Amino acid sequence: MSDERPQKPLPEEQLSRETTSLEKAPSVSGPGASAAPAAPAAPVLPGQPVAAPALRASDADRERVVERLRDAVAEGRLDMEEFQERLEAAYASRTYAELEPLTRDLPAVGGAPAGAAVAAGPGQEQAAWPERIGGAGTSSTAVAVMSGFQRKGQWTVPARFNAVAFWGGGDLDLREASFSQREVVITCIAVMGGIQITVPPGVEVDVRGIGVMGAFDQRGNPGPLHPGAPRVVVTGFAMWGGVEIRVKPLKSDRENKPRRRKEL
């Protein structure tokens, strides 16, 4: 029986083997070497704020700019050549940054830049609009025939709401309401009746209704638009009746406003 055992390599032999293996290994900087993996880019986390100019514009945003351009032509602020150039640019725009320059030099109704959203200052009420936009509508139709209807308090306005008043009246109060979408359309049919719509300050209102021996009337100054506030489009038909849109703050908002001190 043999008593031989494998000998351990001497330190010199071990060093020689390691040197040989390093020489055979491909060089990192050589042409055949693969580049070191790049550090991964920082991910964009859900809810991380994005610059507003980079946000995608919707069809409604483009249409608002187009409507302002048409008004500018009627006011004599733009000639037809400028209007055509800006019109094509508006429909080709994809972001707010591309839309903003088209109306930058045009005053809006009331003197504020078209579509500008201004943060409320001290003493001005400003709703937490992002929390009030989204969800299913509470109801989509209200009808009053020789009677009346009312929607007020905390309810959700759907994307499309139909209101009909025939020999009757209706009241739609949006001051405490939520909105299923950023833009809602309220279609009003008033025949020998009336419908009143109340919105809070800072909400954009677009009135497009037609009146025949009747009227669509907007009262009150909406003031500067609040950031994130919804857009309410009021359309429809009024005959021997009327649709009135009023801008009015809540009673609690009026009470929270600082009162002017009377001079002695």
Q: What confidence score (pLDDT) does residue 145 get?
A: 95
pLDDT tens track for 19-29: 444 444 444 44
Residue 78 confidence (pLDDT): 83
- The alpha carbon dihedral of 248, 250, 251, 255 has a sign of negative
Say what the pTM is: 0.52
Task: Tell me the H-state helices in the chain.
Answer: 11-24, 59-74, 80-92, 96-99, 129-132, 251-256
Single out the residue of 144, 251, 161 nearest to residue 195, CA to CA: 144
* Model confidence pLDDT, tens digit, residues 117-138: 444 444 344 457 888 998 888 8
Question: Which residue ranges in the chain fall short of pLDDT 50?
Answer: 1-3, 10, 13-16, 18-51, 109-126, 261-264
- What's residue 257's pLDDT? 52
State the Cα–Cα distance between residues 57 and 71, nearest whole angstrom.
21
Bridge partners (DSSP) listed for residue 245: 197, 218
- Return the pLDDT at 61: 81
What angle (nearest 5°) sits at the alpha carbon of residue 85, between those of residues 79 and 86?
Answer: 90
- Amino acid (one-letter) located at 97: A
Sign of the CA dihedral with 97 first, then 99, 101, and 104 last: negative
